[in-house]
Structure formats: C-alpha cells, structure tokens
Structure 1
Amino acid sequence: MDGTATRSFPQTIHFTGSNLPRRMEISVRDLAVEGTIPPEIDGAFFRAVPDNAHPPMYDDDIALNADGMIARFDIRGGTVDFDIRYVETDRYRAEKTARRALFGRYRNPFTDDPSVAGMDRTVANTTPVWHAGRLFMTKEDGLGHEINPHSLRTIGKWSYGGALRSPTFTAHPRIDDATGELFFFGYEAGGLCSTDVAYCIADRNGELVSEQWFQQPYCATIHDFVITGRYAIFPIFPTTADLDRLKAGGAHWAHRQDLESWIGIMPRYGKVEEMRWIKGPVGVSAFHEVNAFDDGDLVHIDICLTHTNAFPFMREAGGIHIAQQEVRGALTRWTIDMASADPRIEERPIGPPGDLPRIADSDQGRPYNHAWYVSMNPNGGPPMPGGPVGANFNCLIRLKTGNGHVELLGLPPGAAISEPVHVPSARAGHDGWLLSVVDIPVDPDPARQVPGEYRSELWVIDAGDVAAGPVARVRTGMALRSQVHGTWVSRARLDNSVLRPD
C-alpha cells in the first residue's frame, strides 16, 4: 500500500481482539466492586495504553505505533474511579488538527507525510514513571512527557530543565527505593540508528546529576536494563536497526539470529570508560529483565529470555519465519564473576517462560525472594487475540527465586491478563498485593467467543497467594484496549506531588 491515509482500520491482529481501537477519553466514578479492597490499597494505578486516534497510513502498521493514552484507577476507601486520556504529544496534536494520520511506519520518519518532516515522532505509549513527585509517560524513541497525576493533562516534554542532552529516554528506568535515585538511559542518542547510548542518574529530588555517553557494539533495541548496589548493566540483544533499510521504507528493527548478544557492565557511579563488554549467546532475545543483584564478586541478572525475538514483525524483518508458539524461552539467570580477568556468562533457567515481570520496589537491585510475571497457561485453551505479539497472556505466576517454586493463577478460556503492579503491605511478613487488569470474554463458551467481545476488570490479588484468585474484582463494564506497562503510586505520594489538581 502507498503512504496515503486509509479511511478505516486494517483487519489485522494489531487492530482486532484486545487491540481493537477504542479512542475514548472518559471518566467513570464509583465502579462496581465485588469483594473487599484492602484498606491499605490507597492510591492510583496508572497504565500506559496504546490506542490509535486515527486509522494508520499503512495497513501493516503495528500496535506499538499507536498513540499513547494514560489511564488511571484511583482507589480510595474501597471505591474506584477510572479515567483515561490521550498523551498530547507533538505527533498527536498534529494529527488531531489534520484529522488523519501523518506519521508512517513504526519509527521510520522516511515514510511520513512531508508536512511533519522533522517533527518529534514519539507517541509516549509504553510506561508511566513516577519519580520525585512527578508522573511521566515514556517511550524509548523520545523524551518522557510530564502528566498531571490528578487531571491526566499533558504538561509537555521533560528534559530536566534543558540539562538532558539525550533526545531519548528509556521506557524502563530503575529506581533505587532506598536512595530515591532514578537510573536511566537513552539509546540512539546520537540520532537515528546511531550506536550512542546516554547513561544518566537523577537524584531523589529529581535533579539530573550525571549524563555519560558510550557506544554499544551495534545499534540494538535496548528496551530495559538493570542496576545492582555496585553496577549498571546493559544487556544487548541482536535486534538491529539499519539506516539504509529505513530510507528504503523498511522496518526499524530486524532480528539477527546469527549475531551474538552482549552484556555491558560498569560501576553504577563510575565512568563509562570502565565499561566491560562480555559476549553472550548467539541469536537470543529479551525485552525485560526482572532484577539483578550482587553476590560477592558475582553478579546475577534475571532475564525473560527467548531463543529468538518474541515479536513476529521483528523476526520477519530479519527473515525468520516461525510460528509464535515455537518461540522457546525461560526465566533465566545469567551469572558473571566480576573478579575474573576474562568474565563469562553462566546460564541456568530459574522459572517458566513468561514476561512483564514485577518485583517489590524495595527489592530493586538487591537479593530478592519473589517475582511475579505473566505467562501462557498450557491448560488454559486458546489465548485472547491481541497485544503486541498477537496473543495475550492468560496466567499469572508467582516464583520463589530461591527454590524455583511456582504458583499459578490460570484464567478462564479466552481470557487475558495484563502486567501486574505491586502494592506493598504494612503488615510484617505479608507479601503485599497485586493489581492487574483482566479481560473476560462475554460468552464463556470458547466455541462461541467473538474477538473483541469482552469486559475488563481490575483484579486485586494477594501477592503471597496468587493461586487463590482475586480478593476483589472491580468491574469497568467496558472492553479496555491492551495495556503495555503500569505503575502504582500511593496516596501519600500523590498528595505530595509537585503538580496540584487543576
């Protein structure tokens, strides 16, 4: 298809099922609650929800290219309100004025309408981030956008008062819960397809205190990274960008099954010149790391690892044509002996395959006992169509990292579960709570289920007993579009936010 605007949405997996465009900015008070929400759950669950405001320019567009929306479940005294609004990026405002799509293929400016040449393309659709009393919506191809947490109004792009030189900001910063510091990075910091990476630190007051640039081995999609008490760690996987391919109208990312992975590791308060590069396995891929921690001279890095890229469109751009169900993986621990003159990666699986992991904030960069993540239930029947890979997750896993013990919460046939957020408990010895949006088909009979006909609920789950199911279900009465990532912000932090209600 050429670059002209379509008048309807494509009938592909990126626009059907839970990816069906909803395009609604709404506010609903006092959602129906079944069960009892624990009183200590008092605050807001913010969610990043990609949702196209206009039909795309190309029929083979993907869900990751959709406009960002910031959604909020506001929980107070057992009551729940829901709000969702578009993030008003430069791109969103330009297309809103034109009443049509002006930006072309995913992260390829050479396919845009000439009227928006040079305009910021980010859709800020991946992760809500809370730090130093401010809320940001992020996507790794641009700067974060500050959002008023009370009204969800977009304030604008965030560059630390112009101090940040990198034009990109990761969707996965890491916050040390003890120090309050924000560790983040931006790749392609030197421009499209460059190997420049900016490694940055903001202090607990939200001031940028460090920005250093280094070169990665090749231009890879560095979606996530991890910290320990001593180190900052950059896993590099062989999904690569190529400027000539982009200029020809092709894909930004193509997976290389023949290329080695890497780990870049440096002191977290050190200089980038101290970075050590360690070769990893060939062809593997991961988008999310669970955690990392120091163990004497050993560094353990826990990764949602697969033998190839989990996104079909990134595999196919690299000439890899395998069915989604053939992608193999496991939650995997990579261990590196930093005392060695020639450190190597030792690898062992520690849990079932899955993704979108969550740990307690207090465990960030430290030894930890529990992780929660979503996966595919082998006994759960066909998954609900949707999400960025075309099939949604349908079970929740609680993993005890010490002994590998797994607890599983499976969903009804055709249902889907999004990434959970963790809410700490004030009770000693209690693992806290998980909040997750679950999509339930309108018809419980798998033979009669229609993609896109479902209702979304917010489930409140005891983090120490996920198999018991939800202690409360908040019924929205609506079908919500697939979430990417989310974050929990307590009432105390909301009440002390930099921005006030407007």
Structure 2
Amino acid sequence: MGAFPQSIHFIGTNTPRRVEMSVRNLEVEGEIPAEIEGAFFRAVPDNAHVPMFGDDIALNADGMVARFNFRAGAVDYDIKYVETERYLAEKEARRALFGKYRNPFTDDPSVEGKDRTLANTTPVWHGGRLFMTKEDGRGYEINPHTLETAGKWDYYGALKSETFTAHPRIDDETGEMFFFGYEAGGLCSLDVAYGIADKDGNLTSEQWFDQPYCSTIHDFCITEKYAIFPIFPTTADLERIKDGGAHWAHEQDRESWVGIMPRYGKVDEMRWFKGPKGVSAFHFVNAYDDGDLVHMDVCLSDTNAFSFMREAGGIEREQQDIRGALTRWTFDMSKPGDSFESRDMGPPGDLPRLPDHAQGRNYRRAWYLSMNPEGGPPMPGGPVGANFNAIVRIEPGNGRITMMGVPPGAGVSEPVYVPSSDPEQGGWLMSVVDQPNGPDPANYLSELWIIPADDVEKGPVAKVKLNMPLRSQVHGTWVNRAKLEDSKLKG
C-alpha cells in the first residue's frame, strides 16, 4: 500500500502520528497535588509504516511507550517506539514486512521466523523493571528513565512459554506477580503456561495446562486462594490462518468456561465451570474469596466487542447494539457441578481500574469506562472504533454508582489510580481526554486530567495540556518516584 487506509482503524484517535518526542514543562491548568510524584506510563500502538493490507487493524500497530513524568509540580512528556525485533526489521527496510494481525503466513518471506510481537498493549512494573507487553509474545524491558528498549525478557532463560499476558496480576501484600501465556507452545496450540515471579522478579513457578479450545485469554484473576482463567468463544484455527484468514473468529453458539485452581497449587487441581454461550469479556475488575465462595467481577458483553472478530465468525452486529453489564460471577467451591451464579452490578463498560492494595481481595470501590448517553456521538477511534466518554465509580458492597462525563464529542482513556498519603483523601485518577478541535475527526487536542478518585463527579482538579493530539492508548500504569529511583536500570 502507498498510503494509510481510511478505515476506522486509521482515523480519529487512531490517526497515525509516528512521532518520537520529548516535551518539557507542559502547561498545567489548575494545581497538581503535591504528593503526585512519579510517572504515568502508557502503551500506544502507532504504525511506523503503512501496513501491507488495507484491512489492517489498530491492534496491529507498532508499540510506543509514552510517559508523563511528574516532579515537584512540573510535568514532562516523552514517547518512543519499542524497538522490538519486528520494529527494527521494518525500520531497516523502510516498509512493512509483517502482514495481517497475528498471521505469520501473510508476512514477507524475509522475516520468516522473526519475533512478530509488537509489545503494544500494557506497560507492566514488577521487581524494579518496566516491561512493554502484548500477549502474542514475551515482554520487552524498557529503561524507565530513558524509554530505551533493553531487550526481550525471559527471566534469564528460565521462562519456557513463548507468550506472556498483557494482564498479569500483582499481589500488593506479597509483591508476587502471577501471570500466564496462552498459545504458549506455538501458534493455535491449546497450551497455557501459568507462572509466578517473586517480589524481586525471579521466576519461581511455571506450569502448563490445556484450555478447552484455543481461545483468546486476554485477562485473568487471582484471589488469596485461587487463580482463575476465563475462556470465551473467540477461537483460533490453524487452517484458517494458513489460508490467510483471521487469527480470531467469535463463535456465538459456543459455551464459555472458567477454570479455577489453587493459586499455589498444581494445574491438575483445575476445576472447570461451564458458562453461557457466545458471551465475551476482555477485562475483569477483580476477584476475591468469601468463605467457600469466589466472586469475580467481569466487564461482560453478549458478543465480542471487536467488530473484526465478530465478522470473522459471521456475526453481523452494529457496535451500538451490543448489550452487556458489569457482572458478578459467583462460584461455590464447596459444591459439586460446573454451574455458577451471575448477577448484573453496573452499566456496561470496560477498562477497569482497582487500587493496588485491593488486588485479589474484597474491595470497596473501583472505576471503569462507560458511555454517557448525554455525551453525544462517540469520538471515533480506539481499539473498537468508538471511544468511551465517561468514568464510572462503583461501590460493589452497596451498589452506589457515580459518574464523570467529558465534554460532548470527547473521548476518555483508561485511567490509572494514584494512591494518597492522606487517609481523608481517596487518591487520584489520571486519564487522557481527547477533545474535538474542529469537524475533522483527526483534529483534536489531548489533555491529561487529574481527578479525585472518590469524587469523580466533581471533575478534574488539574489538566495537563499537550496542545496536540495523541494517538489512543491501550493500557497504562502508575509508578511512584521511590520505585523509579530504585529501578534495576538507571538513567
């Protein structure tokens, strides 16, 4: 191709920006709370080259790691490409060499056997190291001070899985990281690797098991006693991929499953529960133990939220017709059988955020993105083609829900949570808000909003102005100053 396609994956907040930059002393409207010291890292897919195929998608863009760096009330912004094996090969060739999303059979022959991962989904901080991750490969370590790429991370050769999730779970009390990789043994394999790394970043356990069918396991949960693996019917087929087709196709008539095993146990202790047909969820708020009960809170929809995955399965549904809710699934581990209970908890949405200390434990509140019906038509862009326009705060114990909307036509990205040292102050949310700057969907201005976490309806106490548009992020993470200064890689 000679130019970027004009599909939803390349317009609006998905417009390719392709710029590495550093900007010091960003303009601030309002006052940044003095205790906010550290860095907000963001994973930003952005094509370095025009794609090989016109039906390419936003998730197939090169990974960039972005950083808002807070120090003594000043904010700097930096963004760099993650120098994956794939990125470097294409940089040298000055063109795209890798073909369709997660389909190596569509690549240029010159890159056969090279690592295809884009490291474009989630920045992960653990054991004094920063990683950029995408679930189709291993993570890449990033220097948190310079954003330079240090290289692929495999726990000094100890990790056997070929893949590493973009959604590990870190127990704030023990410091351990629990993670998995699916298609761990290769393309379309049933292999899932379940791993644990200690607080210092050493791999202490890796066990493999088979999932019921080859599905996209994007996220999982832990509790104090269990590890939970939800399986939804968006499936891979090797023959379809070899024929140049889609890696993923959603099967609306296929059942979902949930596997639960002791988090420090053996994979042969896995117990499988049968879920409803055709449902889908990419992200989970949290899970926790309640006696013999295990509660897991799911951003559930009645079909796959990604149109390209639905269409590959022959499902014709408009985005606005998809139904869902924040849903609680409850499993009684004391009873035999494979059934569980389900109840709706809150409005539909996705990209949830939880305070770190509540991971795997009964939690008081959480936040996620949703749609404000009074916000007008959604801003085009993002992984599903339409951006969210509201942040919802929910208290699962009493069902209380509050919401912060953004201006009409604007979009809001997944927030991060920044804890407060003041017990009377419930911490802060940070989220990038994109606001239209004229009729052209590619013309908008991005700001970073700082919002009181327990008073989201009051709106931001500070706005960090970029005075330019940023491409949509996927996920982000907050790292405080003390952790940054104690990092394994130095500036």
> Structure 2 CA distance, aligned partners of 1:470 and 1:234?
36
- Give 1:229 shift: 0.2
- Give 1:278 shift: 0.6
The match for 2:451 is 461
SS at 1:494 equivalent: helix
Question: Structure 1 segments of 4 or more deviating over 6 A?
Answer: none
The match for 2:398 is 403
State the one-letter code of the partner of 1:481. Answer: R
SS at 1:437 equivalent: strand
> Structure 1 CA distance, aligned partners of 2:195 and 2:344?
31
Specify which of 63, 86, 89 is matched with residue 91 of structure 1: 86
State the one-letter code of the partner of 1:483. Answer: Q
The match for 2:482 is 492
State the one-letter code of the partner of 2:20. Answer: E
The match for 1:427 is 422
> Structure 2 CA distance, aligned partners of 1:489 and 1:52?
26
> Structure 1 CA distance, aligned partners of 2:105 and 2:225?
41
- Give 1:406 shift: 1.1
The match for 1:187 is 182
> Structure 2 CA distance, aligned partners of 1:428 and 1:473?
24
- Give 1:428 shift: 1.2
> Structure 2 CA distance, aligned partners of 1:211 and 1:382?
46
> Structure 2 CA distance, aligned partners of 1:404 and 1:78?
36
SS at 1:95 equivalent: helix
5+ residue gaps in structure 2? none
1:413-451 CA distance string (max 9 Å, x none): 1100000000001111432100000001114xxxxx220
The match for 2:62 is 67
Contact in 2 for aligned 1:45/1:73 (Cα 8 Å) = yes
> Structure 1 CA distance, aligned partners of 2:366 and 2:276?
24
SS at 2:461 equivalent: strand
Pair 1:319 & 2:314 matched:
yes
- Give 1:7 shift: 1.4
Contact in 1 for aligned 2:274/2:338 (Cα 8 Å) = no
More displaced stretch, 32-41 vs 341-350: 341-350
Percent identity, aligned pairs only?
71
> Normalised by the size of structure 1, how large is the TM-score?
0.97
- Give 1:358 shift: 0.1
The match for 2:462 is 472
Pair 1:439 & 2:429 matched:
no
SS at 1:102 equivalent: coil
Contact in 2 for aligned 1:145/1:154 (Cα 8 Å) = yes
1:233-255 CA distance string (max 9 Å, x none): 00000000000000000000000
The match for 2:45 is 50
State the one-letter code of the partner of 2:45. Answer: P
1:261-315 CA distance string (max 9 Å, x none): 0000000000000000110011000000100000000000000000000000000
Contact in 2 for aligned 1:381/1:414 (Cα 8 Å) = yes
State the one-letter code of the partner of 1:485. Answer: H
In the alignment of these two chains, the number of paired residues is 491
1:59-112 CA distance string (max 9 Å, x none): 000000000000000011111000000000000000000000000000000000
The match for 1:446 is none
SS at 1:450 equivalent: coil
- Give 1:190 shift: 1.2
Pairwise CA RMSD of aligned residues? 0.6
Specify which of 407, 412, 421 is matched with residue 417 of structure 1: 412
Specify which of 267, 282, 295 is matched with residue 300 of structure 1: 295
Specify which of 390, 413, 419 is matched with residue 385 of structure 2: 390
5+ residue gaps in structure 1? 1-5, 444-448
> Structure 1 CA distance, aligned partners of 2:16 and 2:256?
36
> Structure 1 CA distance, aligned partners of 2:344 and 2:399?
9
Q: How does 1:64-463 map to 2 (within 5 A)?
A: 64-443=59-438, 449-463=439-453
- Give 1:400 shift: 1.0
Contact in 2 for aligned 1:50/1:64 (Cα 8 Å) = yes
> Structure 2 CA distance, aligned partners of 1:243 and 1:180?
38
